[in-house]
Amino acid sequence: MAEPKGVRNSLLRGAAICHRELGRTVGSTITGQFVDTTTVILVAFVGRAPWGTILNLIISGYLFKVIYEVVATPITYWIVNKLKHAEGVDVYDRGTNFNPFARSREIISEAG
């Protein structure tokens, strides 16, 4: 039995959204964890450990965190989607200004 065209398009659209979200999440982790891991290891070990050990700690810690994120993100999205479906809730913060320096909490138009 062939799938209706609408179902196939819906599945493809869902896969594209998942791929985009995965890329955004992992991309953020790649950047943030590099800065975080390097800073923490340098503060904790400079002057206490040889530079070779420090470099090894930075690289291994960073790789572990990024690999974990790549593995855990699809599982996290799956759990969140199951909970949203079970609760019948899917909340988006459209029109919300997340600027921490904003003087007021005005609503941003969808077009802007």
Q: How confident is the model at residue 109 (pLDDT cuts 50, 70, 90)?
A: low
**Distance separating alpha carbons of residues 35 and 58, to the nearest angstrom:** 10
Does the pLDDT of residue 3 top 70, yes or no? no
Least reliable range by pLDDT among 3-7, 24-28, 34-38, 96-100:
3-7
- Angstrom CA distances, 97 to 2, 25, 104, 107, stand at 45, 20, 9, 7
**Distance separating alpha carbons of residues 73 and 36, to the nearest angstrom:** 19
Q: How confident is the model at residue 15 (pLDDT cuts 50, 70, 90)?
A: low
Taking the domains of the chain in order of start, what are their residue ranges?
5-70
